[in-house]
């Protein structure tokens, strides 16, 4: 049975629209609270958020829901998603909640849930919570209603944890860094952590107003960062997204470095230092074939998963790997975090850069990507991927790319679109196969 509320990364939608309302947030608080009320201890949920205007509304509605079923609430304010995961585990909370729509514009928002261990909830847990959303939940007696409090030292705790991942004795003195925080959740923690490690810092995207999160900035619009890096003559640029679980880099020339190149760098660095586990890294079906070929040359494997950092993490745990991520910049370093962490990953890259001593343009370009083309086809409903015309187009494209490239066709988990990606040595062939499949999808939509 399909899910009504939960998607690939929690619950997401237009804030105060038809779906993501304060009424729903209150019910989520009640349903999730009841689901995790087990044992005789006083139960606690930790709630963080990014900088969207609607975060206030959803935070208070969730708080009302949790306290109404007897859970205490700890509010930490604007905080990166990985910080919420870390603090949930550190503070022995029964549940963690992040209010964010990640890289989406301000008018969207979402609710992400983490378990006691700091990992995103399993499908079974989400299904159980969703089932409770459809019915009534038992509310606490007046004397058992939960309390809510806001803590002020959460930012410092996260900064300390992130800095602890940086090699002891190494500093960023003399390195000029531009960081773009996308006017999002990391607008304070990222500059502070980098400054404390000694970087000569230029911070942009650090003036959130509730509306400007991800607007022409951050990891989904790295052109702003690239221009700034060139303008100030920085050694490297760091772009985070709205909830800081993604990382895209810019070298000193202004060239953009995606998640695949970062994965290649970390795989080689950790392999040389003996830290890499599992003899492989984990990436999704969208990662470039060039990454796979580069890893083969290092005698390393590439485990591919469906799109989504949760799938990547599941693949990492199944294969005993400690490095994984997505081309989009979700990077999971399991020795240090339970979910994607853009700031933490950036520090690992900076450590390599400082130790190497060469310019970022020399260090961060490890392989030449195969020509790759991604197109989105908007769909209004139905099942276009089951249409005979679409199936025939996909089969024909796969036949032409056989041995020379790859084709990936998948529905988005966050938008009403079908994503069509092809890559291979022949750029013209790649473009032709994508166009053929897209045309078939439009005809069937």
Given 206, 232, 254, the domain boundary residue is: 254
Instruction: Tell me what pLDDT residue 258 has.
Output: 97
pLDDT band at 134 (very low <50, low <70, confident <90, very high): confident
Q: Please give the share of the chain, as a percent, with pLDDT higher than 90.
A: 89
| pLDDT tens-place string over residues 76-123 | 999 999 999 999 999 999 999 999 999 999 999 999 999 999 999 988
Q: Which segments of 188-337 does DSSP mark as H helices, in order?
A: 189-196, 223-232, 259-273, 289-297, 309-319
Instruction: Tell me what pLDDT residue 413 has.
Output: 72
Quick one: CA torsion of 58, 89, 51, 214, rounded to 10 degrees?
Answer: -120
| pLDDT tens-place string over residues 303-343 | 999 988 889 999 999 999 999 999 999 999 999 999 999 99
pLDDT band at 2 (very low <50, low <70, confident <90, very high): low
Give the pLDDT mean for 204-228.
Answer: 98
Backbone angles phi, psi at 330, to 5 degrees: -70, 120
CATH of the domain at 263: 3.40.120.10
8 A C-beta contact, residue 426 and residue 402 = no
pLDDT band at 416 (very low <50, low <70, confident <90, very high): confident
8 A C-beta contact, residue 48 and residue 78 = yes
Pairing state between β 200-204 and 236-240: unpaired
- Measure the CA–CA gap between 338 and 376, rounded to whole angstroms: 30
Give the pLDDT mean for 201-219.
Answer: 98
**Total number of domains constituting the chain:** 4
Given 152, 181, 199, the domain boundary residue is: 152
What pTM value is reported for the model? 0.92
Backbone angles phi, psi at 287, to 5 degrees: -65, 145
36 and 125 fall within a common domain: yes
172 and 140 fall within a common domain: no
Range of the domain at 232: 157-254
| pLDDT tens-place string over residues 232-277 | 999 999 999 999 999 999 999 999 999 999 999 999 999 999 999 9
Instruction: Tell me what pLDDT residue 1 has.
Output: 43
Give the pLDDT mean for 360-388.
Answer: 92
Establish whether 122 is a catalytic residue: no
H or E, element range at 12: strand 11-14
Spot the catalytic one: 100, 102, 280, 287: 102
């Amino acid at each position: 049975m399909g899910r009504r509320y939960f998607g690939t990364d929690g619950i997401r939608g237009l804030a105060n629209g038809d779906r993501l309302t304060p009424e729903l947030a209150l019910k989520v608080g009640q349903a999730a609270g009841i689901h995790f009320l087990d044992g005789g201890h006083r139960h606690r949920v930790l709630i963080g958020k990014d900088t969207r205007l609607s975060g206030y509304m959803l935070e208070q509605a969730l708080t009302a829901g949790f306290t109404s079923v007897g859970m205490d609430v700890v509010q930490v304010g604007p905080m990166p998603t990985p910080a919420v995961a870390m603090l949930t585990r550190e503070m022995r909370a029964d549940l963690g909640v992040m209010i964010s729509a990640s890289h989406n514009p301000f008018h969207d928002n979402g609710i992400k849930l983490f378990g006691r261990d700091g990992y995103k909830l399993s499908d079974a847990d989400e299904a159980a919570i969703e089932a409770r959303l459809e019915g009534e939940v038992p509310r606490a007696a007046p004397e058992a209603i939960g309390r809510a409090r806001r803590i002020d030292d959460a930012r410092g705790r996260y900064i300390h944890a992130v800095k602890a991942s940086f090699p002891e004795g190494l500093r960023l003195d003399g390195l000029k860094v531009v960081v773009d925080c996308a006017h999002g959740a990391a607008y304070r923690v990222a500059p502070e952590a980098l400054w404390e490690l000694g970087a000569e810092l230029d911070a942009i995207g650090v003036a959130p107003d509730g509306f400007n999160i991800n607007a022409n900035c951050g990891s989904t619009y790295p052109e702003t960062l690239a221009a700034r890096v060139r303008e100030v003559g920085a050694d490297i640029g760091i772009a985070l997204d709205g909830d800081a679980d993604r990382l895209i880099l810019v070298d000193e020339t202004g060239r953009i470095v995606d998640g695949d190149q970062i994965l290649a760098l970390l795989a080689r660095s950790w392999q040389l230092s003996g830290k890499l586990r599992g003899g492989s890294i984990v990436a999704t079906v969208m990662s470039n074939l060039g990454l796979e070929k580069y890893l083969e040359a290092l005698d390393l494997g590439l485990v591919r998963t469906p799109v989504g950092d949760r799938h990547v993490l599941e693949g990492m745990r199944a294969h005993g790997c400690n490095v994984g991520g997505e081309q989009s910049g979700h990077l999971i370093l399991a020795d240090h975090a339970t979910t994607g962490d853009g700031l933490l990953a950036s520090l690992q890259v900076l450590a390599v850069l400082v130790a190497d001593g060469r310019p970022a343009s020399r260090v961060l370009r490890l392989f030449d990507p195969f020509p790759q083309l991604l197109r989105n086809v908007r769909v209004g409903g139905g099942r276009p991927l089951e249409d005979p015309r679409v199936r025939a187009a996909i089969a024909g494209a796969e036949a032409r790319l056989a041995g020379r490239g790859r084709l990936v066709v998948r529905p988005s988990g966050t938008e009403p679109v079908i994503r069509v990606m092809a890559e291979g040595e022949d750029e013209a062939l790649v473009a032709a196969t994508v166009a053929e499949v897209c045309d078939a999808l439009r005809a069937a939509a």
